[in-house]
Amino acid sequence: MIEISKIKGLIFDFGFTLFYFEEASLKKYINCYQKGLQKSVDFLFRRNILKTESIKKEFINKFNRMQNEIFKERNKGHQEYPTRTLFRRICRSMNLDEDINEEVWEELPNLFHSFEEEEWIPFENTHNTLTQLKKVPHLKLAVLSNHPHHTMIEQVLNRYNLSQFFDEIITSAEYGMRKPHIDIFDYTIKKLGIKKEDKKNIIMCGDEYADIMGAHRAGLQIVLIEREYKFPYEKDIPLKDICRIKDISEILNLI
């Protein structure tokens, strides 16, 4: 059981914990990425970095191939490959990187994630719940997201005026490792300024295996937010008697 009065920190996952996608499906995600890739490639074409249609095509093929490899690899080692790194690797492999300035490097991942960014919507009770939590004295709040582009998470939180509630916004893109690797949980705790011996007084609230098993191994309390849509290849959580909620506002009953 969670000892409520002692809680010092609350860490939220981003996707399907604070925010959701309408009509979520793997197909919808892939569609956003494909449109984003096309937008990034058109941008490079307008800048005369990709000079012909066939070079554009080659770029798209390389990107898709490398991204598939990354998806497979990151499930094994939990290392994150930020989208900006992926663009750099492909441009380097095509000898395009010398023509690219800092502004373009910044813009490419923003364009790539721009369609996805539009889709994320906060749950109906996200804002209210965070408003209430912010009033709890000495309670630290963080977002901890497995996402390959840190700026997108910040921009979505800003768009809905939610950044103000968090002491820290941590992403796998920024840290380099993904949940469930315990190092990213330790990093978050350190950033929040909570002592290691107070780990058990921190709650991780998330909707999937990576959140729950990572936090469990890191020695945190866990709250599973049950979502309706099940993604393919999803891992079951091999823990009994965990605290489960259906709506983010239910977390207020625990604090």
- If we measure between CA atoms, which residue out of 21, 8, 5, 16 comes closest to residue 245? 16
Note whether 82 binds Mg ion by CB under 5 A.
no
92-100, 112-120, 164-172, 200-208 -> range binding Mg ion (CB under 5 A): 200-208
* Residue 38 or 125 with smaller CB distance to Mg ion: 125
Q: How far is the CB of 224 from Mg ion (least distance, A)?
A: 11
Q: Which residue is nearest to Mg ion (CB)?
A: 15
What is the x/- site pattern for Mg ion, positions 27-56, by CB under 5 A?
------------------------------
Q: How far is the CB of 234 from Mg ion (least distance, A)?
A: 11
Q: How far is the CB of 94 from Mg ion (least distance, A)?
A: 34
90-98, 122-130, 161-169, 206-214 -> range binding Mg ion (CB under 5 A): 206-214
9 forms beta bridges with 140, 202
With CB under 5 A as the rule, give the number of residues binding Mg ion: 4
Residue with tokens 């609350």: 10
Note whether 13 binds Mg ion by CB under 5 A.
yes
87-95, 103-111, 205-213, 218-226 -> range binding Mg ion (CB under 5 A): 205-213
* Residue 146 or 221 with smaller CB distance to Mg ion: 146
Note whether 174 binds Mg ion by CB under 5 A.
no
Note whether 16 binds Mg ion by CB under 5 A.
yes
Question: Do 5 and 136 touch, CB atoms closer than 8 A?
Answer: no
12-20, 53-61, 183-191, 221-229 -> range binding Mg ion (CB under 5 A): 12-20
- Reduce the secondary structure of the chain to three states and give it as a string: CCCHHHCCEEEECCECCCEEECCCCHHHHHHHHHHHHHHHHHHHHHCCCCCCHHHHHHHHHHHHHHHHHHHHHHHHHCECCCHHHHHHHHHHHCCCHHHCCHHHHHHHHHHHCHHHHHHEEECCCHHHHHHHHHCCCCCEEEEEECCCCHHHHHHHHHHCCCHHHCCEEEEHHHHCECCCCHHHHHHHHHHHCCCHHHHHHEEEEECCHHHHHHHHHCCCEEEEECCCCCCCCCCCCCCCCCEEECCHHHHHHCC
Q: How far is the CB of 29 from Mg ion (least distance, A)?
A: 12
8-16, 90-98, 177-185, 229-237 -> range binding Mg ion (CB under 5 A): 8-16
Q: Which residues contact Mg ion (rule: CB under 5 A)?
A: 13, 15-16, 207
